[in-house]
Structure 1
Amino acid sequence: MIEARKLAKHYGEKTAVSEVSFTVKPGQVTGFLGPNGAGKSTTMRMIVGLDRPSSGDVTVNGKHYAEHKDPLHQVGALLDAKAVHTSRTAYDHLRAMAATHSIPLKRVHEVIEMTGLGAVAKKKAGGFSLGMGQRLGIANALLGDPQTLILDEPVNGLDPEGVLWVRNLVKYLAGEGKTIFLSSHLMSEMAQTADHLIVIGRGRIIADAPIAELISGNSIQKVRVRTSQTADLTRLLASEGVTIGANEPETLEVTGLDSRRIAQIALDNRVLVYELAPLNASLEEAYFDLTKDEVEYHSHVESGEPTLITEGK
């Protein structure tokens, strides 16, 4: 378990993390989301003692990271896949790490096979692709069979097979009762992987909830309606104060009214409707709605030219 209590980090006058409190529980995959510069990486670094908090406190499995006598058995972390001696082979890197914690050589071979590094284990890490570097970082995190796993952008650079492998791996480990805390910029992947989400913006926690609750609570109800009488139905629904879009022939997208009410209005006015389909909001839509006021950099397109707009920090 990871417990943060009023955790803060300041760099001079800049606040990277502002008194955040959260708990990452075992037995589930907890996703960590936020715009660039929101404080995700700083928070993860403070958890494993790489950055000292300006105030507040954070513990892993009941202790500060530095207090664990066997940290690789307690916490496995992937924060920077490039943090490997480039002249070492993958095998030698993992063997050296194992030696510091009296981890048997058998475990080194296990994680090499587990992460798909068998064919390149004797090659120098400096020549690895981004994806192979990620696999080595994950192998290193798994080396001590830790109770808690912290992964910062673990699928970065991986091919589709690798992305699926990471998804299944973290779900399996969570099912074994381990604590899984991971970040990703891939909303579709996070939607399929995470059970719970913590969203941070400008150093503050802006959401901490199960993923289904977060999506439903930050999305507007929308229903797709198919009818040959679009004009009639549009006129009838206008009095309900809804928003109506029409992107396809004989199709309306109604925002702000549920399918039951739409069906009743259509029935009462003898309008034939041949499809009513609630449109489920995506994690991406909920995320953008949550963070729309927390992004420091917005892309703006005007006359076909993208422009970067910087907001005050």
Structure 2
Amino acid sequence: MIEARGLVKVYGGKPQKYAVQDISFTVRPGKVTGFLGPNGAGKSTTMRMIMGLDDPTAGRVTVNGRPYAQHKAPLREVGALLDAKAVHTSRSAWHHLRAMAATHGIPQQRIHEVIELTGLGPVATKRVGGFSLGMGQRLGIAAALLGDPQTVILDEPVNGLDPEGVLWVRNLARSLAAEGRTVFLSSHLMSEMAQTADHLIVIGRGRIIADASIQEILDGQGRARTRVRTGGPEGAQLLGRVLAGPGVSIEAREGCLLEVSGVEPRAIAQAALEQQVLVCELTPLQASLEEAYLDLTRDEVEYHSGALAGRPDAPDDVAAPAAAGRQS
């Protein structure tokens, strides 16, 4: 379990910069918890404080009941992938893992096990400096699992992996959680997070803006929509006129297809019946995790790309000429 209470991180300089502002959360065992947020939101800083790489300005964070630095055998308590490139490039994968294992008295049999588990067998004796990005990620995951830890922290674990590797990481995370371990991972791939995580913690500008199950976040963000397909364009036009009203949004997707928000599916069906409009499809739609995430973090993004300019939901300070020269 990971517990953060009143965690604050301030970097020096004038003015001082709050990387993390009084955040509290709990990452529980037995489920995969995703950690999301825009660039610069404080994700990496938070993970570094969990691992004892950065000291908090205020507050406290513990892993399995203790600060990371107080564990006598930390590799056996928590395994982490924060930077897959933090490896001596002249060493082989085998020797890198062997050096780590030696610090904790981990037997060589365990090295063989994690090499087999991560698919590194064919390259185990090759220099890490020649590894592809995906192989580097696999080595980082092998190192995180080396001590058979109760808590696993993975920062962008699917970065550089091919589709088979992405599926493998997804199944690995879920199997670790099924064993009762604490699994905490970050990713920018919303589709992957939707298939992997059970719970989400969303951070923006150093503050927690959501801490809930994926379903709760999906249910709480965006308006319910319904796809309506009629028997012909005339019926779609008629139904659209009947349903129109305050708080109702109707988008014509095709000649016979409408996307309606602000009206319950049952009310749509009743209106169609009263107007004798043939309805061939009536499908409730749920916002995707990507849509829910963008809605949650709309006001928390530090840099906006030019693609946002001109959109009706873009922040007021985003203009095409200014956005084009900003970082993204």
TM range (shorter): over 0.9
Q: TM-score, normalised by structure 2?
A: 0.92
Tell me which of 161, 166, 171 is aligned to 1:168: 171
Counterpart in 2 of 1:219? 222
Aligned equivalent of 1:265, options 262, 271, 274: 271
Sort the Cα spacing of 1:41 and 1:193 in 2 relative to 1 into closer, same or farther, 3 A: same
- The answer for the alignment partner of 2:288 in structure 1 is 282
Question: For residues 258 and 96 of structure 1, what CA distance do their matches in structure 2 show?
Answer: 61
Once the 2 structures are TM-superposed, how far is the Cα of residue 257 of structure 1 from its aligned partner? 1.3
Aligned equivalent of 2:34: 31
Q: TM-score, normalised by structure 1?
A: 0.97
Q: Is 1:8–1:17's contact at 8 Å kept on the other side of the alignment? A: yes
- Assess if the C-alpha contact under 8 Å between 1:298 and 1:308 holds in 2: no
Unaligned runs of 5+ in 2: 311-319
Amino acid in the other structure paired with 1:214: I
Q: Say if 1:76 and 1:149, in contact at 8 Å, map to a contact too.
A: yes
Does the CA contact (< 8 Å) of 2:92 and 2:128 recur in 1? yes
* Alpha-carbon distance in 2 for matches of 1:308, 1:147: 45
SS at match of 2:306: strand
- Residue 122 of structure 2 is aligned to residue 116 of structure 1: no
Give me the whole-angstrom Cα distance separating, in 1, the residues matched to 2:264 and 2:326: 37
Q: Distance in 2 between matches of 1:44 and 1:57?
A: 13
**In structure 1, distance between residues paired with 2:327 and 2:207:** 19
The aligned counterpart of 1:71 is 74
1:49 aligns to what?
52
Task: Assess if the C-alpha contact under 8 Å between 1:131 and 1:159 holds in 2.
Answer: yes
Cα displacement (A) at 1:279: 1.3
Shift of 1:266: 1.1
Q: Which residue of 1 aligns with 2:251?
A: 245
Q: Deviations over 1:167-198 (max 9, x none)?
A: 00010010000000000000000000000000
Which residue does 2:324 correspond to in 1? 307
* 1:69-108 equivalent positions in 2, closer than 5 A: 69-108=72-111
Letter in 2 for 1:120: V
Partner of 2:142: 139
Preserved contact between residue 215 and residue 283 of structure 1 (Cα < 8 Å) = yes
Give the fraction of aligned pairs with identical amino acids, expressed as a percent.
Answer: 70
Moved more, 260-269 or 187-196: 260-269
Could you tell me how far apart the structure 1 residues matched to 2:256 and 2:91 are? 63
SS at match of 1:297: coil
1:263-305 alpha-carbon deviations (Å, 9 max, x no partner): 0111122222111011121000000000000000011247999
Q: Which of 193, 199, 218 lines up with 2:202 in the alignment?
A: 199
Tell me which of 178, 182, 203 is aligned to 2:181.
Answer: 178
2:210 maps to a residue whose letter is A
Partner Cα distance (2:70, 2:325) in 1: 44
Match of 1:9 in 2: 9
Query: Deviation per CA, 1:100-157, whole angstroms, max 9, x where unpaired?
Result: 0000000000000100000000011111111000000000000000000000000000
Q: Is the 8 A contact 2:228 2:283 kept in 1?
A: yes
Structure 1: segments with no counterpart, 5+ residues: none
Question: 1:249: how far off?
Answer: 2.0
Counterpart residue identity of residue 191, structure 2: S
Distance in 2 (alpha carbons) for counterparts of 1:240 and 1:63: 54
Equivalent position of 1:60 in the other structure? 63
3-state secondary structure, aligned to 1:32: strand
Cα distance between partner residues in 1 of 2:152 and 2:205: 25
Q: Does 1:298 align with 2:315?
A: no
